[in-house]
Structure 1
């Protein structure tokens, strides 16, 4: 058990180290390290690791479509922490629903931003999940994840999908704490709201 926990801690440490490279401006090296970790973790890896990794990996992408794909992976991984949760990501690629789990302003860094999110659907239907089923720690992921997806859709000129995720980000914002991270995410929601109104 201790060995497993130490191994999991090592994964999070490596994600943190790559995130420091990203925040320091070395996007290419960060992308390489995140990619290697993603390969090691695999599609069946720990959902928390996958969510965190995909969340940061999205920030290293040059193409908005690739950024969206990673944000979707992050959302799907977050849903995996609950067995299929409020942010369920199925059905948006056709513009009619949500996709599976933003500017860099939010992603887990406490900076105010508009871009988190991503995941791949496993097919099948998600079970309904009540708010009470979701741990507070996991619930706090969703505002940022949906905000990043909304920002991705703005970049891709898909305002309806952007609005859907922005509304979900705002609906989930009550899970945020009264701290720098929470304030940053709320500010990102407000900024993106203004951008959508201006359009």
Structure 2
């Protein structure tokens, strides 16, 4: 069985994935526009998986740390409306608790760059609290390394 056989078709998630690939290909403005259109279509009270995913990826495409922080906050707010049942309707391996380290480390890093070390430490601690929910794969390793990198930057006083 291939990994893709566990993924249920979802046109919004497919559009999010396409926009993310645009961004990774260096088309940041186009990706940001695509994700913003998706956010507008889904709405602030739409499907929580869609809102969380869109906001999470939109944060990475912002030009200012304050805009990035606002989208990271939206992603965290959206995940509070998400449950494992909904996440697994998209992909049967997903659990909401495993989203938390990534969402919190992104907030920690944005707060650090915004000069709010205290709030950065709160989110860094929250990211570490759910590390056991991460899979033992490349994704889990990437998030663990991101937490270590954010902690080192925070401890060194980097902004």
What is the correspondence of 1:12-161 to structure 2 with a 5 Å cutoff? 12-82=13-83, 137-161=95-119
- Of Structure 1 and Structure 2, the greater helix share is in 2
Residue from 129, 153, 157 that aligns with 1:171: 129
Unaligned runs of 5+ in 2: 1-7, 84-92
User: CA-to-partner distance for each residue in 1:20-78, whole Å, 9 max, x for gaps?
Assistant: 00111110000110011111100111000000000000011001111000000000111
Query: Aligned Cα RMSD in Å?
Result: 1.4
Question: What's the counterpart of residue 141 of structure 2?
Answer: 183
Which 4+ stretches in 1 moved above 6 angstroms? Answer: none
Is it true that 1:194 corresponds to 2:133 in the alignment? no
Cα distance in 2 for partners of 1:49, 1:60 equals: 17
How many residue pairs get matched? 141
Per the TM alignment, residue 137 of structure 1 is displaced from its structure 2 partner at its CA by: 1.0
Q: TM-score, normalised by structure 2?
A: 0.85
Asked if the contact 1:68–1:152 (Cα under 8 Å) also holds between the matched residues in 2, the reply is: yes
Cα distance in 2 for partners of 1:159, 1:169 equals: 15
Asked if the contact 1:149–1:162 (Cα under 8 Å) also holds between the matched residues in 2, the reply is: yes
Cα distance in 1 for partners of 2:129, 2:45 equals: 29
Unaligned runs of 5+ in 1: 83-134
User: CA-to-partner distance for each residue in 1:96-137, whole Å, 9 max, x for gaps?
Assistant: xxxxxxxxxxxxxxxxxxxxxxxxxxxxxxxxxxxxxxx961
Cα distance in 2 for partners of 1:190, 1:44 equals: 34
Cα distance in 2 for partners of 1:156, 1:143 equals: 20
Cα distance in 1 for partners of 2:61, 2:94 equals: 28
